[in-house]
Amino acid sequence: MKKIKRIGVFTSGGDSPGMNSAVRAVVRTAINYKLEVYGIHRGYKGMIRGEFEKMTSKSVAHIIQQGGTFLRSARSKEFRTIEGRKKAYTNLVKNKIDAVVVIGGDGSFKGAGIFSQEYDIPFVGMPGTIDNDMFGTDYTIGFDTALNTVTEAIDKIKDTAHSHDRTFFIEVMGRDAGFIALKAGIATGAEMVLIPEIEGQEEKLEKYLSTTKKTSSIIIVAEGNNVGGAEKIAKAFGKRFKEHGVRVNVLGHMQRGGSPTAFDRYLASRLGVAAVDALMDNQRSVMMGYANHEVVHVPFNKTIKGKRGIGEELLRVNEILSK
């Protein structure tokens, strides 16, 4: 493998708090190794269009506390094609990029893995997603911030719920995974949590509403659960249980924004350093994960094929404390 002199870094997929912290860490670690580093704007789309910008230590000053991603992010159908990846490769060669760090989810890593097989440019990844559903890591960049955002919002809604003895269905993100919903449920003392991983929750919800006297209740709904979204559930059950004074609150994209927590800044910084270290160690097609408070290297194919379970212990804790 040829000696690395210049690397690229980009963010891909949905934005998550801490991505800027991650880019900062990659840029400054690369400079520490006497490497040149280029930021690639708008993910794979920018790679195809040639949106490259040389980064300096000053380029990433004062961004560690900012949410979102200053490099922007975008989906790219074109990169899924052979022709699109060829354009991306041409631009990487044109800009003399020897290796790339990608910050994103499993879809981003899948694209990077395919690209690295077709062309001799190593990619390493960092898990950036609020869903915390990446296989091989205990935490993803952005999850802690999103969880704190949800917890703060629910705490405020609980005040109104208690004042009027109302039942609130609060929808949080989680199309395929219920980590935000479940951990927020435990953190806020929610009466029930509906998540994609559990079947038969409709009967349990009906039993709860039919046997509970009029009182304030918080029911957290992960958007991808098998019963339906918060509005659909509230419409169906609100008519049958009018005494609960059912209300709905969809938190939506506010969960992705905001200044990252100290933990997300720390996690992104540590993984960013590890990503550049891995490239300098001639590694490729691996994700920098965080397990048992240590950085781990997980092959892209494992992060893509593996599925992270919600964990029986978390379900048990929630079951005990929500009674």
pLDDT per residue, tens digit, the chain (323 aa), is 679 999 999 999 999 999 999 999 999 999 999 999 999 999 999 999 999 999 999 999 999 999 999 999 988 999 999 999 999 999 999 999 999 999 999 889 999 999 999 998 999 999 999 999 999 999 999 999 999 999 999 999 999 988 888 889 999 999 889 999 999 999 999 999 999 898 878 888 878 887 877 678 899 999 988 888 889 888 888 777 777 778 899 999 999 999 999 999 999 999 999 999 999 999 999 999 999 999 999 999 999 888 888 888 999 998 899 87
The one-letter code for the residue type at 11 is T
Residue 20 φ/ψ, nearest 5 degrees: -65, -40
Q: Domain 6-142+260-305 maps to which CATH number in 3.90.1150.140, 3.40.50.450, 3.40.640.10, 1.10.357.10?
A: 3.40.50.450
| CATH of segment(s) 144-256 | 3.40.50.460
42: phi > 0 → left, psi -120 to 50 → alpha, else beta; which? left
**CA distances from residue 33 to 27, 83, 205, 264 in whole angstroms, order as listed:** 10, 34, 56, 24
Task: Check 98, 131, 144, 264 and give the catalytic one.
Answer: 131
> Please, are residues 98 and 2 in contact by the beta-carbon 8 Å criterion?
yes
Residues in the chain: 323
Neighbours of 236 (CB within 10 A): 16
Per-residue confidence (pLDDT) for residue 243, from 0 to 100: 75
Torsion on CA atoms 314, 22, 264, 288, rounded to nearest 10: 30
> Please, are residues 254 and 100 in contact by the beta-carbon 8 Å criterion?
no
Distance between CA 196 and CA 226 in Å, rounded?
Answer: 6
Distance between CA 232 and CA 205 in Å, rounded?
Answer: 14
Residue 29 tokens, joined? 């670690």
131 catalytic per annotation? yes
Distance between CA 209 and CA 195 in Å, rounded?
Answer: 18
Asked whether the whole model's pTM tops 0.85, one would answer: yes
**CA distances from residue 257 to 19, 146, 174 in whole angstroms, order as listed:** 11, 8, 15
Q: What is the DSSP letter of 173?
A: S
Domain boundaries for CATH 3.40.50.450 within the chain? 6-142+260-305
Neighbours of 306 (CB within 10 A): 14
Domain boundaries for CATH 3.40.50.460 within the chain? 144-256
Q: What angle do CA 77, 175, 159 make, to 5 degrees?
A: 135
Distance between CA 164 and CA 161 in Å, rounded?
Answer: 6
